[in-house]
Amino acid sequence: MIQDNENARKYFLMIQDIIKRMAQNSFMLKGWSLTIYSVVIAFNLANLQWVFFLNAIIIIGFFWVLDSYYLRQERLFRKLWEKKVDLFNNDREELNKNLFDMDTKKIQSSLEDKQKVKNIFGVMFSTTECLFYLPIEVISIIFMIVHLT
């Protein structure tokens, strides 16, 4: 029993580390996207060519998709953690059968519709992602339109 508790504790720590890593990746992507965007815009303001604004829009779009991927993975692992904690509290035998299982697809398919994690495009247009990336994209489009006219 003590060994089972220790194994479960290690398993929960592994999941928490993965969640922390996904959140850190998302944070780093936001930093990199702002840095690269700033460099592209600064370079573009010196040259005033619309193609650089288009590049900025595309680059931010790539970062937006990648950031959404990491955010979705983080949410999936949070659901995995919640499910495994529930098993730990209610059905340790079932938990021990699937200890160290990191397959989030099984968790996603076992959830009710309200609890399911959205697909990557659903996550892309979540509040947190839109509040960060959408203003950058809109500003780039406005800059591009202003410089084209």
- Alpha-carbon separation of residue 55 from 41, 58, 84, 132 (angstroms): 10, 5, 44, 18
Using the structure block, give the residue that is written with the tokens 């697909």: 119
Domains identified in the chain, total number: 1
Question: What are 32-52's pLDDT values in tens digits?
Answer: 999 998 888 888 777 777 777
Which range marks the domain in which residue 26 is found?
A: 2-148
pLDDT of residue 46: 72
Q: What is the pLDDT of residue 114?
A: 64
Q: Look at residue 83 in the predicted model and tell me its pLDDT.
A: 84
Residue-level pLDDT at 113: 63
Residue-level pLDDT, tens digit, the chain, 149 residues: 446 678 888 888 998 999 999 999 999 999 999 999 888 888 877 777 777 788 888 999 999 999 999 999 999 999 988 888 888 878 777 776 777 777 787 777 777 766 778 888 999 999 999 999 999 999 888 888 887 77
Q: Which is it for the CA torsion 67, 69, 74, 75, positive or negative?
A: positive
